[in-house]
Amino acid sequence: MKRETIKAGQVTIEFLLEASDTNGSTAMFEFTVPAGAKVPIPHYHEHFDETIYGLAGDMTFIVDGKPIDIAPGETCFIPRGAVHGFNNFKQEDAKGLAVITPALIGPIFFKEVAEIVNAGGPPDIGKLKLVMAKHGLIPVMPQLENA
């Protein structure tokens, strides 16, 4: 498979396996998160699980409200329905490997997100929510205190 690099805002995604490579069982991609990068809003997946494996640097995933630091060689399993997001609070770039089972997300999702995020100016949150929902990701907006 020809590797394709997709840049969505500050995050870079490189697919290693897509649904067409695995009869729909698994998708796999590397993702790089620069230090202090703006990252996707918290969300959950309706129909697939995600496993993260740390490759370089350190990043912090929040899964159902619990922080999980992922360094090289460490893993994090995110079951479908678990609200999650991630950040890179460190001073160096972080890189991880994501494994999606079954392979219900592919490069087209990230290309559609990139089109919105890379358009310039603040991203259109309404459009992002529509793209996410179309691909089975349900955004969960942070609750405002005293709201």
The predicted structure's pLDDT at residue 142: 63
Element (DSSP H or E) covering residue 45: strand 43-45
- When computed from its CA atoms, the radius of gyration of the chain, rounded to whole angstroms, is 15
- Model-level pTM greater than 0.75? yes
Q: What is the mean pLDDT of the chain?
A: 91
Q: Which two three-digit tokens encode residue 106?
A: 């592919």
| Under 8 Å between Cβ of 22 and 107 | no
pLDDT at 1 over 80: no
**C-alpha distance from residue 25 to each of 100, 111, 112, 134 (Å):** 8, 21, 22, 20
For the chain, the structural domain boundaries read: 5-138
Q: What is the mean pLDDT of residues 25-50?
A: 91
Q: What is the mean pLDDT of residues 65-85?
A: 95
Round to whole Å and give the CA distance between 127 and 132: 9
Q: Tell me which fold the domain 5-138 belongs to.
A: Jelly Rolls (2.60.120)
Per-residue pLDDT tens over the stretch 80-126: 999 999 989 889 999 999 999 999 999 999 999 999 999 988 889 89
pLDDT at 147 over 60: no
User: Given the DSSP bridges, would you call strands 84-87 and 5-8 parallel, antiparallel or unpaired?
Assistant: unpaired
Residues 6+ apart with CB under 8 A from 22: 103
pLDDT bucket at 49, cuts 50 / 70 / 90: very high
